Amino acid sequence: MIDSHTHSAHSADSVMPLFDLINTAVALKLDYLAVTDHLDRDFLYCTNSKPIKQLDIPKYAEAMREAKKIYDGKIKLAFGIECGYSEKSQKMTFDDVTPLNTDVVINSVHTVKDEDVYVPAYYENKTKDEVFLPYINAVLKSLDIALPYDIVGHIGYIARKAPFRFLYEDYDGLLDEIFKKIIQKGKCVEINTHVKFAKADFFPEYDFIKRYRELGGELITFSSDAHQTFRVAEKYDLAAHAVKQAGFKYFAAYIDHKPEFYKI
Ligand SMILES: [Zn+2]
Ligand SMILES: [Zn+2]
């Protein structure tokens, strides 16, 4: 089992101590764990939410260096970062992340046109197209950033809070474009089981994964996006089953930005 996306207390939205997270993964006998704390430079430009505490990069990097030494031989531990994309913050993110000795970088969209899509008011008086089209376009743009990222974070994240279902068939042209670009760039899609209140088991949903495979997609990984110990590797079996059914045989897991393959 692997888990490519988790958050410790170095993230503003988690209180899980780093060692609790890693010990949980060891106890669950995971082969691989990536800790991917949030770098939310996009929120510095956000107009509809309060400022959030930013990642202390040197402190986090040092903690991961230490942890890698301590857990050597016990679990394959990856130093990761989940970067929130926005047009305005992408240069700052690039400058912050590029010099670091990371193993894996997740490129995620949490804000659209400088607005946090987690705020319920974001959806007031918006039609389905007004909700999904700007989000899809933000994901499409995010794929072209200079940042050396490996994984495209939780495609469909907006459906966690949106009052509509996010269906592939409604936006298949643009979504095909997204997956074709991911394949062409050699990036990896994650199956993220942290869905909160959405009527889905994971994002992207099964139709998305299936289409990604049909288009020739090969790189896929498992992500619990755990912020608490009991969520580490949550719904792994469910996600693995779906991915297998869609035609994938291996999960990719990154060390030093190179994929290693784990049989599903
Ligand atoms: Zn995220
Ligand atoms: Zn996350």
d(CA 243, CA 43): 32
CA of 224 to the centre of ligand 2 (A): 8
What's the CATH code of the domain at 41? 3.20.20.140
Q: Looking at residue 196, what is its pLDDT?
A: 80
CA of 227, nearest ligand number = 2
- The neighbour count for residue 97, using CB atoms within 10 Å, is 18
Q: Looking at residue 50, what is its pLDDT?
A: 87
User: CA dist 17 to 9, 22, 35, 64, 191, Å?
Assistant: 5, 9, 11, 12, 24
d(CA 228, CA 21): 8
CA of 163 to the centre of ligand 1 (A): 19
CA of 112 to the centre of ligand 1 (A): 13
CA of 3, nearest ligand number = 2
CA of 66 to the centre of ligand 2 (A): 22
Identify the domain containing residue 74 by its residue range.
2-263
Residue 29 has pLDDT above 80, yes or no: yes
Domain tally, the chain: 1
- Cβ atoms of 177 and 185 closer than 8 Å: no
CA of 111 to the centre of ligand 1 (A): 10
Confidence of residue 182 (pLDDT cuts 50, 70, 90): very high
CA of 192 to the centre of ligand 1 (A): 9
Q: Looking at residue 127, what is its pLDDT?
A: 97
Q: Looking at residue 197, what is its pLDDT?
A: 72
The answer to whether the bond into 120 is cis (omega within 30° of 0) is no
Where would I find the beta strands (DSSP E) of 51-179?
76-84, 104-108, 111-112, 115-116, 151-152
User: CA dist 216 to 186, 206, 212, 251, Å?
Assistant: 11, 16, 7, 15
CA of 195 to the centre of ligand 1 (A): 11
Q: Is the pTM for the entire model greater than 0.95? A: yes
CA of 24 to the centre of ligand 1 (A): 21
What tens digit of pLDDT does each residue of 122-149 get? 999 999 999 999 999 999 999 999 999 9
CA of 259 to the centre of ligand 2 (A): 19
What tens digit of pLDDT does each residue of 185-244 get? 999 999 999 988 777 899 999 999 999 999 999 999 999 999 999 999 999 999 999 999
CA 67 to chain centre: 22
What tens digit of pLDDT does each residue of 153-173 get? 999 999 989 999 999 999 999
How close are the terminal C-alpha atoms of the chain, in Å?
Answer: 8
CA of 83 to the centre of ligand 1 (A): 8
What tens digit of pLDDT does each residue of 8-26 get? 999 999 999 999 999 999 9
Q: Looking at residue 132, what is its pLDDT?
A: 98
d(CA 76, CA 47): 39
CA of 129 to the centre of ligand 1 (A): 22
User: CA dist 174 to 116, 141, 162, 170, 180, Å?
Assistant: 22, 12, 19, 10, 10
CB under 5 Å of ion ligand 1: residues: 108
Q: Looking at residue 46, what is its pLDDT?
A: 96
CA of 81, nearest ligand number = 2
* Cβ-proximal residues to 73 (8 Å cutoff; 6+ apart), any chain: none
DSSP class of residue 98? T
What tens digit of pLDDT does each residue of 58-117 get? 999 999 999 999 999 999 999 999 999 999 999 999 999 999 999 999 999 999 999 999
Q: Looking at residue 103, what is its pLDDT?
A: 98
Residue 51 has pLDDT above 90, yes or no: no
d(CA 253, CA 241): 18
Q: Looking at residue 198, what is its pLDDT?
A: 73
